[in-house]
A and B are shown apart, each in its own frame.
Chain A
């Protein structure tokens, strides 16, 4: 059974600081996704990572994938309050289109 674990589950940080969210998954996966969810809202797609060593960046967020370690990271650079949200990673496996999500990391960026 494919399992996805994120840590930390809660993260409180100050504006201007850097931090990393980790996503581990239990079995070989074809694709890894990062989503953002604001309170009471739906999920917004941030990144799709397809291959070992893939790195994608958008603004202050950078995501990377290490398929050998079954690990993805979401790095936050010089955090701002607008990044406060819950971040989910999700994976799927060859032959299956369903996404398996982690529990999410609730990020709070304090002024």
Chain B
């Protein structure tokens, strides 16, 4: 079946602009996660949705970052007034069974964001 998909695959923007990154999770997965991966580092958690609500947004670095999942499926990560330090690969993951013993997260291909 289809995996997690993310669009666009690459996004180049200028400092100060607004960007939206989209994630389409695996069908039927109720949990959705956003991570950010800088060059040479492991992914860092940003936010986790259970259904439509953000269950944990403790990883969002500041109020320029916001994410929504209005219908409990597709999610959009929104970044306002982008800064060069926001450049990274933004990864989305989804899982079927949050709160159970095995909560395996399946990752999408990522969106590479470059802020000039």
Which residues does A use to contact B, with CB under 8 Å? Answer: 4, 30-31, 33, 35, 41-45, 48, 50, 88, 90, 92, 96-104
Other-chain residue from B44, B55, B107 in contact with A97 (beta carbon distance below 8 A)? B55
B103 touches A31 (CB 8 A): yes
Which residues does B use to contact A, with CB under 8 Å? Answer: 31, 33, 35, 40-45, 48, 50, 55-56, 58-59, 91, 95, 98-99, 101-110
B56 touches A88 (CB 8 A): no
A9 (CB) vs chain B CBs: closest residue: B40
Main secondary structure of the interface of A (DSSP, over half): strand
CB distance from B39 to the nearest CB of A (A): 11
With A42-B91, A45-B106, A48-B102 already in contact, the answer to whether A97 and B42 are too (CB < 8 A) is no
Residues of B within 8 A of A48 (CB): 102, 104
B43 (CB) vs chain A CBs: closest residue: A101
Other-chain residue from B35, B41, B98, B102 in contact with A50 (beta carbon distance below 8 A)? B102
A41 touches B45 (CB 8 A): no
**30 A-B interface contacts by CB (under 8 A):** A31-B101, A31-B103, A33-B104, A35-B107, A42-B107, A42-B109, A43-B43, A43-B107, A44-B107, A45-B104, A45-B106, A48-B102, A88-B42, A90-B42, A92-B103, A97-B48, A97-B50, A97-B55, A97-B95, A97-B98, A97-B103, A98-B45, A98-B48, A98-B56, A98-B59, A99-B35, A101-B44, A102-B42, A103-B42, A104-B41
